[in-house]
Structure 1
Amino acid sequence: MWFTKSIDETLKELSVGPATGLSSEEAASRKSKYGPNRLEAKKKKSVFQIFISQLNDWLIYVLFAAVIITFFMGEYIDSVIIILVILINAGIGVFQEVKAGKAIEALMQMSSPRALVRRDSHTAEIDSAELVPGDIVILDAGRVVPADLRLIESANLQTEESALTGESVPGSKEAADIYDDPNTPIGDRDNQAFMSSIVTYGRGVGVVVETGMRTEVGKIAHLIDNEELTKTPLEKKLSELGKMLGKMAVGICAFIFVLSWFQGRDLGEMFLTSVSLAVASIPEGLAAIVAVVLSVGVTAMSKNNAIIRQLPAVETLGSVNVICSDKTGTLTMNKMSVTQVYTTQGLLDLDEHVPNDIPNAAKFAAKAMILCSDATLHNDDATGDPTEIALLALGDTLRLDRKNLENDTNRINEKSFDSDRKMMSVLVKEEDGDYKVFTKGALASLKKVSTRIFDNGEVREITEADLKNFSHAARQMSDHALRTLAVAYKPAARDTHPDEMEQDLVLLGLVGMIDPARDEVKPSIKLAKDAGIKTIMITGDHKNTAFAIAKDLHIADHVDQVITGPEMDSFSEDELKQKVNSYRVYARVSPEHKVKIVRALKANGNIVSMTGDGVNDAPSLNAADIGVAMGITGTDVAKGAADMILTDDDFSTIVKAIEQGRNIYNNIKKSVIFLLTCNLGEVVVMFLALLVGWQSPLIATQLLWINLLTDSLPAIALGMDNGDPDVMKEKPRSINENFFSHGAGIQAVVGGIFIGLITMLAYWYGYYELGYSPADGNIPEEVVKNARTLAFMVLVCSQLFFSLGLRNRKKPLYKIGIFGNRYLVGAIVLGILMQILVLFVPVLREAFKLHMLDQKGWMMAVVLGLLPLTALEIYKIVFANRKQHSTAKI
């Protein structure tokens, strides 16, 4: 009952000091005792359960029925082969599901909440799973509470606890409260913050009292299932495609069976053949292959600093044509540094040199900035907002003793920053016992609430001339791409209410700080432009500052492409929709403006990516097609609302993610087209041969073997291709585009028919070279075996070789290289070796009813097997030359 104990009692019982926190050794000891701070996940399916689920398919049931039928027909070898094919297929399915599951688990762990913790007298951010009872946790707006805490400090702290209480309105928290009633409801325990609740306002410090399953949310964890993985829209579309193709294949197979019945064929054999053809022609592994390609792809993206939280984002990335990016930290280094300080004593330029005799007004302004900050800076170890870290560094530059300043002052109360006021205020008790309010924020906001000014050590009434001088200094700083921040103070009383803090202030000074652009941003913006993607910069900076940076980054060419939030407010919704495409920079914007920008852009048919880091950015991240949260500076709320998290807060990572997203989609498309082409080829050869009255070109076990070889490893290998380095020279893909757009569907159909026809040719040649025709009667069994062996070899070789040509739909193979995808080359080599093994091992040759080929047969298998690939490459060369010729004319 931690809520019934005082702060001192709680700290004593947990053996921790609030200023130092636990030692690393003690934290490790407690973790071994209490375990990781995480909720127990639902029990995962075992490998055996996954294996059984792979067999839970109606086609597999039919195959099992075929096993029984062949067994009673005395075809024991066929029965064994069918069972082995079923088991191997199921094994491949297990491998795919386990691999995809592990990749998704790794991503979930990477995007798990972080906690700001005080240990060994230092504040650092750690994974929330590492928390133990006794840890001192710092809370600020936007963070998810990482464990059950007994608050020891609170300043206007509010949390939203709807997950526990059902009450969506945030509740205020008071660390000093103590409750005598042990039955006090959770929603009334204002001296506690609970795991999974969200800090919506203010600041606080708490000591961890319960972790993991011992937390309040842990007690109801059986009602929570955070790991339920739903299919992406892409997987659903492919599943529907598979069902449609399955129905068509079953219809064709049923037609073949009925036709065979009318032709007087052996019904038992034809039933087995028809079922095997159905299994071979239905791309049942399509969804599993897509899941593997997606999971492997997004895992690779995470290694490049882009964590995909929602798999559908991968599909959408390829269609993005507008990137709305924050300036600070994303386009810039996120390493603010104060270069100028302006007070009534003039401008102090720190870029040039730091004078020995620093003006008192500048020191006072720096002191005020330090006290009105939530950041920490110890040597190179810093936490908090980069702007506030820069202000702490300013104190060091001006030779202020921050350690003594921290020890000699005590923050009593505060009024947190919000985007409407654009200010933050704190009430501080100083060493001499006096109380002062310190306020920092936008100069325009402070000018409205400042009635006096600090001048030469004295406080006097502020004049219009003073305001003009400060405005002129701010404008000069902005013109040099400096971000400005003003500071003020006033004497106050101990019981000053937060609503009274920002009244009748004394203006102290103004600082200008710069956050230089990242070196890699300019090339990334150009790359995005070449890919048909427009970059829009969104910032809270002044118009002049924003334009100076945007011009340097080649985002905007002239100031007419810049608009401010207040100017936007004068537009109606329709006016903004009409004008939004003409702007490249949005300055002085609030989070509400971001939502308006996204909606206006989307209304014009754009697919929009939007970055954000704050609590109030969640609506715009949700509104965008791709919400991108900052991994370093972003709040937990922003990360929770985003589709993608940047672990380096870098704009170029967004562009790289779009490039990878395009390649992942293209890789999935390659796998789909390959599977459909192969399956169509099998259906064509069987359908045509039986239609003209020939014997079945392939028997059931051969069809199942072909399905095993081509529908697994080559398809997965295509999905793991390195991708096209020129993919960013293409325009964004239409959101409504399907896999069969731009001639891909025609390619699959033509390729499938061509493979089917050359297999028919090989089958015919198998008769011809031994002096027979497929239409003859009383054909010796060895002749039929020879023809089927040729068809069997040609069909496998043509499918395996054809996969090489599908690596790139436009570029010929000699340009991208045969060995560019080692997985695919390995799959092809393995497939051919397995074919040779089946043919050369007598037991297997007899089991599959094959005939050893002669020299002509081998030449025929290789030559015909290479024909589909050769035809595809010739088409690409002609197409490429034609395109170059038409481009040259233009």
Structure 2
Amino acid sequence: MWFTRSVEDVLQEFKVDPAKGLSEAEAKERLIKYGPNKLKGHKKKSVLQLFIEQLNDWLIYVLLAAVLITLFMGEYIDAVIIIIVIVLNAVLGVVQEVKAGNAIEALQKIASPKALVRREGIVKEIDSEQVVPGDILILETGRYIAADLRLIETVNLQVEESALTGESVPSSKHAEQVSTDEQTPIGDRANSAFMSTLITYGRGAGVAVGTGMQTEVGKIADILQTEEAKTPLEIRLDELGKTIGKLAIGICVMIFGVATLQGRDLAEMFLLSVSLAVASIPEGLAAIVAIVLSVGVTNMSRHNAIIRRLPAVETLGSVNIICSDKTGTLTQNKMTVQKYFTLEGEVTIDRQNKTQPTETGALLAKAMILCSDATYHNGEGTGDPTEIALLVLGDDLGLDRTVLQKNNKRVGEYAFDSDRKLMSTLVEESGNYKVYTKGAIDNLLNLATHVLADGFAVPITDAHKQQFLEATENMSDKALRTLGVAYKPVDAVVPAEEMEKDLVLIGLVGMIDPPRLEVKASVEKARQAGITSVMITGDHKTTAFAIAHELGIADTIEQAITGQELEELTQEELDRHVNNYRVFARVSPEHKVKIVRALKDHGNIVSMTGDGVNDAPSLNTADIGVAMGITGTDVAKGASDMILTDDNFATIVTAIEQGRNIYNNIKKAVIFLLTCNLGEVVAMVVTLLIGWEAPLIATQLLWINLMTDSLPAVALGMDPGDPDVMKEKPRDPSESFFAGGDGGRAVFGGILIGALTIFAFWYGYYEHGYSPFDKSVPTETLQNARTMAFLTLVACQLYYALALRSPIKSIFQVGVFTNLYLIGAIGLGLILQLLLVSIPFTQDAFRLSMPDRNGWITVVLLGLVPLLVNELYKLILRARQAT
């Protein structure tokens, strides 16, 4: 039991030096020995299990019953064809499920949490799965703990362990404690921390003593299994499929009843009715939606946007306001100190000629370094970009950070929080104790009783304060972010609450994080798409506005408001004016929630970015919560719907564009399926009701269903994005799935395809000198008519897929060959059709015959009619738009 042993014993057991950590070579060996640090997920279903699940459907049971009937009737070839179609349908379903599962699995790997570890003396961020027993983990506020730990260092560390203990109050941790009782409950193990628990306060370090299934969470992992929920889109389409299914079954029952009254062969009509039900119900709908969603989301991850919850894809298309933080999202996240100010004057940092600091300047840099939780080695840093910039300032001024940190041991701290806007550390140097405090200059001016002038601490006066306020204002006017620093000597270790009293103000620094080059174009692109960009930041109003104005987010300073000004507004005033503001500066996390709610009350669909622990409420409140992948805490990521792996505003706009295209692609696939199925129903119902023979037999219907419900529909769902999709307004979330004329287009297309199929069936008779109303017709004539109907129906459906790629653009504007998946699916379909009528065996099996020249010309021309009619309709629409 690690909690009953001292820190030294545990470190010795794992053969690790806490100052250096494991070597990379040793970590690799231990990873092989102990395995990845992850819980065992659901056992993946085998291909055989997936295949059996595809057959677990009542329609399939009816088809299998039909197989038995055809065998009893001696129609062995029909029975074999039905079985082959059933198996092929199941195989396609398995392939789609496996592909979707692999895409989601890849997505989960990309979104895996990170851990800070010390290896070979350097602190680095790695995937939590790579943590091994013996690793030294660095703990900081807002991170989830990646493994079970024996703590070796704690400073005001508190951990929320409710997932394991049920206790909602965070537990205080103390590395020096050693339990004597091996039966100590988890909640009382003050020297231990556990996987998946959350650090709510302070900092620390620990050695990993358990990973993966050897953790406390791992022991109960088997009872924490949850099923993946369907998205609202999938639920709506599932309901649509059921409704269509009921209608189709009703129609088939009606057909069977009519056939009985007409004296037709009941066994043949039963088989035909069942086949029509299978053909008209879009059973592939759910699978196609799942595959399009998962593949689309995986593609989004390649563009630095990781979707954590699939419903976010649907919501993205409706977003009309993007609320974004400034630092790192709109800017480059590379803070650099440009100037610093003390009472000795303002100094501009000259990195080429190495600025030589005064004694006060050196103390300012030293204080900034010692009051920091960031690390910076070999051009790479971890932690807050502002703190990293302060470490770089020390390097620029010639300070040796390694020696400085070695000689100054941190013995206490008062962690930063958004209310105080301050952070303090207590360090011991050669037996002397000093407090260093950094934070908002206005807060420091309120707390400081002295100021450093000519190397001496003198009582601070209003004149001194005015100098600092003017220096702050000058820097802010130049879009520089300001940060003050103070210190005070103390006689001994003092409580956190006592640190920030009677401070000696040293000075302040001005730093800048320049705007990202690509953001201005993204803001304009969003504006054209009907999306308003809003900046919500903790920075000063003037600094925030300067960046916002440069990026095209705000035009005038009147569009900016501070958190303090926000407090002075009543809820009614805020609701009335919130849409007029583009910059919210100096805001607290509570303000963010208030702003998001006010925007949503106006009917806006709001996307909100965040990276800190306190951002979680606003991320939850927003319609789309967006967490920063680089600087974001695990809490922010856990509360988000989407994670930006590059912390870039432009990625949000790109994600909205891709989300719109994914939704549109799903609509294309759905409309295609419904149109094709309706065409089959129309052709069958009309001909049977007027007393003709059925234009298609059961095996032909099942073949057509196999053809159109698979490759063409999936290929439409994989259509490349429309480059003009961001010129459209955001989609109304309450909008019907068939809005914008899509429902009418599906009905008209289905009726047209059905009518053309009926005409082809009639032409097959006419070609041989007969009419479908004739009672005595040679078998060859009926077979020719059915061949014409069969080929025409498939040709209409395959070509019609091209027309559905855009609701208004012609196929030439879209590009005939820009979707090679669809061209391949159409080509394969046509080749298979040709093989069916060319090979004697398949001719007999499907009751087909080889059409003559006129027959082929008719099939080609009729097959093109739906495409041409649709293109003519789109031409009329474009002409109306132009006038």
- TM-score class, shorter-chain normalisation, is over 0.9
For 2:413 and 2:439, how far apart are their aligned partners in 1?
A: 14
The match for 1:528 is 526
Following superposition, the deviation at residue 33 of structure 1 comes to 1.1
Q: Per the alignment, in what secondary structure is the counterpart of residue 176 of structure 2?
A: coil
Q: Contact between 2:153 and 2:206, CA under 8 Å: does it hold in 1?
A: yes
Alignment partner of 1:454 out of 443, 447, 452: 452
Extract unaligned runs of 5+ from structure 2. Answer: none
Q: Per the alignment, in what secondary structure is the counterpart of residue 306 of structure 2?
A: strand
For 2:35 and 2:866, how far apart are their aligned partners in 1?
A: 59
Q: Contact between 1:482 and 1:514, CA under 8 Å: does it hold in 2?
A: yes
Q: Per the alignment, in what secondary structure is the counterpart of residue 290 of structure 1?
A: helix
Following superposition, the deviation at residue 61 of structure 1 comes to 0.5
The answer to whether residue 342 in structure 2 is matched with residue 343 in structure 1 is yes
Following superposition, the deviation at residue 628 of structure 1 comes to 0.3
Alignment partner of 2:680 out of 679, 682, 686: 682
The match for 1:587 is 585
Q: Contact between 2:802 and 2:867, CA under 8 Å: does it hold in 1?
A: yes
Q: Contact between 1:340 and 1:351, CA under 8 Å: does it hold in 2?
A: no
Deviations 1:657-677 (A, max 9, x none): 000000000000000000000
Deviations 1:65-122 (A, max 9, x none): 0000000000000000000000000000001111111111111111111000000111
Aligned residue identity for 1:22: L
Q: After the TM superposition, which residues 745-784 of structure 1 pair with which residues of structure 2 at under 5 Å, given as runs?
A: 745-784=743-782
Q: After the TM superposition, which residues 292-331 of structure 1 pair with which residues of structure 2 at under 5 Å, given as runs?
A: 292-331=291-330
For 2:264 and 2:490, how far apart are their aligned partners in 1?
A: 102
For 2:402 and 2:663, how far apart are their aligned partners in 1?
A: 54
Deviations 1:426-471 (A, max 9, x none): 00001x2100000000011111111011111111101100111001
Q: Contact between 1:3 and 1:189, CA under 8 Å: does it hold in 2?
A: yes
Following superposition, the deviation at residue 723 of structure 1 comes to 1.7
The match for 1:211 is 211
Q: Contact between 2:355 and 2:397, CA under 8 Å: does it hold in 1?
A: no
Q: After the TM superposition, which residues 618-767 of structure 1 pair with which residues of structure 2 at under 5 Å, given as runs?
A: 618-767=616-765
Q: Contact between 1:30 and 1:133, CA under 8 Å: does it hold in 2?
A: yes
For 2:247 and 2:5, how far apart are their aligned partners in 1?
A: 71
Q: After the TM superposition, which residues 426-505 of structure 1 pair with which residues of structure 2 at under 5 Å, given as runs?
A: 426-430=425-429, 432-505=430-503
The match for 1:888 is none
The match for 1:105 is 105
For 1:340 and 1:752, how far apart are their aligned partners in 2?
A: 70
Alignment partner of 2:837 out of 833, 839, 842: 839
Following superposition, the deviation at residue 355 of structure 1 comes to 6.5
Aligned residue identity for 1:308: I
For 2:67 and 2:491, how far apart are their aligned partners in 1?
A: 90
876-885 vs 89-98, greater mean Cα deviation: 876-885
Q: After the TM superposition, which residues 502-517 of structure 1 pair with which residues of structure 2 at under 5 Å, given as runs?
A: 502-517=500-515
For 1:619 and 1:666, how far apart are their aligned partners in 2?
A: 31
For 2:355 and 2:171, how far apart are their aligned partners in 1?
A: 50
Following superposition, the deviation at residue 356 of structure 1 comes to 5.5
Deviations 1:551-588 (A, max 9, x none): 11111111110000111111222221111101000000
Deviations 1:331-380 (A, max 9, x none): 00000000000001000011587576421111100100000001111121
Q: Per the alignment, in what secondary structure is the counterpart of residue 158 of structure 1?
A: strand
Following superposition, the deviation at residue 739 of structure 1 comes to 2.0
- Dislocated runs of 4+, deviation >3 Å: 351-357
Q: Per the alignment, in what secondary structure is the counterpart of residue 544 of structure 2?
A: helix
The match for 1:15 is 15
Q: Per the alignment, in what secondary structure is the counterpart of residue 242 of structure 1?
A: helix
Deviations 1:835-884 (A, max 9, x none): 11111010000000011100010001000000000000011111101211
Q: Contact between 1:158 and 1:170, CA under 8 Å: does it hold in 2?
A: yes
Shift of the 632–355 alpha-carbon distance from structure 1 to 2, 3 Å rule, reads closer
For 1:695 and 1:135, how far apart are their aligned partners in 2?
A: 77
Q: After the TM superposition, which residues 348-427 of structure 1 pair with which residues of structure 2 at under 5 Å, given as runs?
A: 348-350=347-349, 357-427=356-426
Q: After the TM superposition, which residues 120-159 of structure 1 pair with which residues of structure 2 at under 5 Å, given as runs?
A: 120-159=120-159
653-662 vs 733-742, greater mean Cα deviation: 733-742
Deviations 1:28-58 (A, max 9, x none): 1111111111111121111110110001111
For 1:225 and 1:260, how far apart are their aligned partners in 2?
A: 51
Following superposition, the deviation at residue 223 of structure 1 comes to 1.2
Q: Contact between 1:156 and 1:203, CA under 8 Å: does it hold in 2?
A: yes
For 1:621 and 1:799, how far apart are their aligned partners in 2?
A: 45
Alignment partner of 2:867 out of 866, 869, 885: 869
The match for 1:565 is 563
Following superposition, the deviation at residue 414 of structure 1 comes to 0.5
The match for 1:819 is 817
Following superposition, the deviation at residue 738 of structure 1 comes to 2.3
The match for 2:250 is 251
TM-score w.r.t. length of structure 1: 0.99
Q: Contact between 1:531 and 1:731, CA under 8 Å: does it hold in 2?
A: yes
Q: Per the alignment, in what secondary structure is the counterpart of residue 484 of structure 1?
A: strand
Q: Contact between 1:440 and 1:488, CA under 8 Å: does it hold in 2?
A: yes
Deviations 1:248-276 (A, max 9, x none): 00000110000000000001000000000
For 1:686 and 1:492, how far apart are their aligned partners in 2?
A: 93
The answer to whether residue 89 in structure 2 is matched with residue 89 in structure 1 is yes
Q: Contact between 2:67 and 2:83, CA under 8 Å: does it hold in 1?
A: yes
Deviations 1:681-701 (A, max 9, x none): 000000000010000000000
For 1:183 and 1:438, how far apart are their aligned partners in 2?
A: 42
For 2:442 and 2:240, how far apart are their aligned partners in 1?
A: 59
Shift of the 189–322 alpha-carbon distance from structure 1 to 2, 3 Å rule, reads same
The answer to whether residue 593 in structure 2 is matched with residue 614 in structure 1 is no
Q: Contact between 1:245 and 1:282, CA under 8 Å: does it hold in 2?
A: yes
The match for 1:272 is 271
Aligned residue identity for 2:56: N
For 1:458 and 1:857, how far apart are their aligned partners in 2?
A: 103
Aligned residue identity for 2:99: K
Aligned residue identity for 1:483: R
Q: After the TM superposition, which residues 22-41 of structure 1 pair with which residues of structure 2 at under 5 Å, given as runs?
A: 22-41=22-41
Following superposition, the deviation at residue 225 of structure 1 comes to 2.0
For 1:219 and 1:445, how far apart are their aligned partners in 2?
A: 48
Shift of the 769–353 alpha-carbon distance from structure 1 to 2, 3 Å rule, reads closer
Aligned residue identity for 1:621: L
Deviations 1:775-818 (A, max 9, x none): 01111111000000000000000000000000001001121121
Following superposition, the deviation at residue 680 of structure 1 comes to 0.3
For 2:253 and 2:296, how far apart are their aligned partners in 1?
A: 39
For 2:441 and 2:239, how far apart are their aligned partners in 1?
A: 58
The match for 1:45 is 45
For 1:290 and 1:220, how far apart are their aligned partners in 2?
A: 34
Q: Per the alignment, in what secondary structure is the counterpart of residue 338 of structure 1?
A: strand
The match for 2:174 is 174
For 1:469 and 1:424, how far apart are their aligned partners in 2?
A: 23
Alignment partner of 1:519 out of 517, 520, 528: 517
The match for 1:576 is 574
Extract unaligned runs of 5+ from structure 1. Answer: 886-890
Question: Share of identical aligned residues, percent?
Answer: 64
The match for 1:242 is 241
Q: Per the alignment, in what secondary structure is the counterpart of residue 69 of structure 1?
A: helix
Q: Per the alignment, in what secondary structure is the counterpart of residue 844 of structure 1?
A: helix
For 2:802 and 2:124, how far apart are their aligned partners in 1?
A: 50
Shift of the 353–834 alpha-carbon distance from structure 1 to 2, 3 Å rule, reads closer
355-364 vs 438-447, greater mean Cα deviation: 355-364
For 1:134 and 1:492, how far apart are their aligned partners in 2?
A: 37
Q: Per the alignment, in what secondary structure is the counterpart of residue 327 of structure 1?
A: coil
